[in-house]
Amino acid sequence: MSYSKSVFINAPFDRKFQKLFYAIVFTITDCGFEVRCALEVDNGAEARLSRIYSIIGDCMLAVHDLSRTQLDPVHRLPRFNMPLELGIFLGAKRFGKGRQSQKNCLILDTERFRYQKFISDIAGQDPRAHGDDPDRAISAVRDWLLHQRREVDVPSARHISQRYETFKSELPRLCRKKNWDRQRLTFKERLSLTAQWINSTPLG
C-alpha cells in the first residue's frame, strides 16, 4: 500500500476501547486505506517506541484518539501514550523532509473541546467528538478520509455502519472457517478477516 493511503491508528488497545477501535479499523479498510498500528508487529527485540517511529514514518495519515486521559484507578496517574504519539506525528510533519511534510491527521475525543483542559497546544487541529459511540466514530473517520482521496467513491457513514454490523454477525463463521478462536483473535487475524470480508462483499 502506498504512503498516501497508509493510516496510523493511535488509540488505547484495552478491552473497554475495542468496540471503538475495531469500528475505526473497519472504516479505514472499507474506505480503501490500509491500517497501521503498533499491534501489527510482535518483536520483543525491538523497542516499542522505535516501532512507532517506523510506522509513523510509513504513514501519511493518522487517527489519534485522546479520549483516555482520565486517572488510572490504581496508580492515580493519566495515560500519556496517545498524546505522546500525536506529538511524534506532528513533529514528523513539522520537521520531516520530503513526503513527511504531507502528513495529515484526525484527532478524536469523547467531547469536541475537552482537549482544551489537558492539551490546549493543539488548538486549531479541529478534534472531532465520538462520545464513545462507534457509529459516531465511523462517521468522523469516514468524513475525514473522504477528503484524503481524489476519487469520490467512499461509501456513506450509514452504509459503512450497516456493513460493519453485518461483518460482526458473520465473524463467528469466518473464525470457524479459519479454525481461529473468536475470543482470542490477534490484531493481525482480525485485520485479515476484515480485509477479506470487505474484498469479497461488494459495496452495492
Q: What is the pLDDT of residue 112?
A: 75
- pLDDT cut 90: percent of the chain above it: 65
- pLDDT cut 70: percent of the chain above it: 89
Give this prediction's pTM: 0.90
* Separation of alpha carbons 89 and 107, rounded Å: 12
Domains of the chain: 3-155 (3.40.50.2300)
Q: What is the pLDDT of residue 203?
A: 76
Facing residues of 61 across strands?
7, 104
Residue 72 is placed in which grid cell? 488510572
Residue 7 is placed in which grid cell? 493510516
pLDDT grade, residue 196 (50/70/90)?
very high
Fill in the DSSP letter of residue 71: P
Residue 27 is placed in which grid cell? 472504516
CB 32 within 8 A of CB 86: no
Q: What is the pLDDT of residue 193?
A: 97
Q: What is the pLDDT of residue 19?
A: 95
Inter-CA distances, 111 with 64, 124, 130, 156, 174, Å: 14, 15, 7, 23, 35
pLDDT in tens, 115-165: 666 666 566 667 888 999 999 999 999 999 998 877 667 889 999 999 999
81, pLDDT greater than 90: no
pLDDT grade, residue 82 (50/70/90)?
confident
What 3-state DSSP class applies to 7?
A: strand
Q: How far is CA 107 from the centre of its chain?
A: 10
Round the average pLDDT of the chain to a whole number and report it.
88
Positive or negative, the CA dihedral 37, 13, 175, 26 is negative
Strands annotated E in the chain: 6-10, 34-36, 61-65, 104-109, 128-129
170, pLDDT greater than 80: yes
Q: How far is CA 126 from the centre of its chain?
A: 17
